[in-house]
Structure 1
């Protein structure tokens, strides 16, 4: 039997560099995408206005951006694994 949570909130396998902060950000990114999809569907169905949809997505984007900053994602984009081990 399929778990309804898995059906409503599917998660894709993560193939990137396995670090705790990357995994957390990936989960946040997938949640963001799922919420944006719901909001788009509500707006398309006429359940919410385009302005309300925009505001909700903007707020979600701000949360994702804050998460990225707090996790330190992309702060040292040119630093490779050897340099991190030496530090």
Structure 2
């Protein structure tokens, strides 16, 4: 029987199944990418709500992007191997 009351963490931090080539580095990068997208969404909402400035939002997103790029490089995922051929 499906859970009728999902946990707060499942609601706030949803994770979706990976549908690409199931190599460990791809799965880890997909999790990192989902976290990046979720955090960018929160930052955008904070900026839209006036809690942080546009400059702060930009700097935070830029830092997150650098972290994501570093994780891609650390996992050995090249830019050329991205996407279907």
Q: TM-score range by the shorter chain?
A: 0.7 to 0.9
1: CA distance between counterparts of 2:57 and 2:40?
9
Deviation, 1:12, is 1.3
Answer yes or no: is 1:43 the counterpart of 2:47: yes
Q: TM-score of the superposition, structure 2-length normalised?
A: 0.86
Partner of 2:78: 74
**What 5-or-longer segments of structure 2 have no aligned partner?**
none
State the partner residue of 1:52. Answer: 56
What's the C-alpha RMSD, in Å, of the aligned pairs? 1.1
| Residues 1:61 and 2:61 aligned together | no
Displacement of 1:76? 6.4
Q: Please, what TM-score do these two structures have when normalized by structure 1?
A: 0.85
Higher Rg: 1
The yes-or-no answer on 1:19 pairing with 2:19 is no
